[in-house]
């Protein structure tokens, strides 16, 4: 009879070491993803915070609103809007306008030429994009307000800043960080995206906590 070779298995200590290593690897991956998510939310929040700085910086220099500046040519070498409302103290136009001569588009050209923000100054589309690839825009809190709800209940503010393509998990964190933690009330709200670049957003009908983590929303804030 042939001698059978003795087969050695893993000891409990070896198995425990392997499990610890796997646990550390998984923990590192999850922690890394958490840091990435936090960085994205921080970048999105920075976009909202920077735009009022651009407005006030431009006003301090030229006593006019960027985009609405009727003397933009002499002030910064920029384009004057053809809206017929230039100089009325309001940034007119849809926040996500695709018309390069609208005040909401020229806002970005003016602040860039003034050295307040980085980006193109001679293009057919001036709107910047956020850290997740969605467009960012600004408009007034009046007739061009992106929220179609009645004036008594819709988002309010002298200016409305919107940022598109934001996943629900980021929108929730953003609202907690910058507002009241409720995405359908307060000065910051999340809206359903109707298109990749919506010009009319749906009414804020989502209840608190109903945002889907994997669904994209447009987040707007009144300032």
Please compute Rg for the chain using Cα positions: 25
What's the mean pLDDT when you consider all of the chain? 85
Q: Residue 160 and residue 149: Cα distance in Å, rounded?
A: 14
Answer whether residue 128 shows pLDDT above 90: yes
pTM for the complete prediction? 0.81
Q: Which residue has the tokens 């001698």?
A: 3
Highest mean pLDDT among 152-161, 162-171, 202-211: 162-171
From first CA to last CA, the distance across the chain in angstroms is: 89
Please tell me the predicted confidence (pLDDT) of residue 211: 87
3-class DSSP state of 192: strand
Domain locations along the chain: 50-128, 134-223
Q: Which residue has the tokens 């809190």?
A: 141
């Amino acid at each position: 009879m042939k001698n059978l070779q003795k087969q050695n298995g893993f000891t409990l200590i070896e198995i425990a070491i392997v499990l610890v290593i796997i646990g550390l690897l998984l923990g590192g991956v999850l922690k890394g993803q958490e840091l990435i998510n936090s960085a994205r939310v921080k970048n999105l929040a920075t976009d909202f915070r920077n735009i009022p700085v651009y407005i006030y910086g431009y006003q301090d220099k030229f006593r006019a609103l960027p985009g609405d500046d009727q003397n933009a040519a002499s002030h910064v070498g920029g384009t004057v809007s053809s809206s017929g409302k230039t100089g009325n103290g309001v940034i007119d136009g849809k926040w996500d306008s695709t018309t390069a001569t609208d005040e909401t588009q020229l806002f970005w050209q003016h602040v860039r030429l003034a050295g307040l923000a980085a980006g193109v100054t001679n293009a057919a589309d001036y709107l910047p994009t956020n850290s997740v690839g969605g467009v960012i825009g600004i408009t007034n809190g009046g007739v061009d307000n992106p929220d179609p709800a009645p004036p008594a209940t819709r988002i309010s503010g002298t200016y409305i800043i919107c940022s598109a393509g934001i996943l629900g998990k980021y929108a929730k964190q953003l609202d907690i960080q910058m507002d009241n933690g409720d995405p359908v009330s307060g000065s910051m709200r999340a809206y359903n995206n109707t298109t990749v670049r919506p010009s009319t957003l749906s009414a804020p009908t989502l209840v608190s906590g109903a945002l889907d983590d994997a669904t994209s929303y447009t987040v707007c804030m009144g300032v």
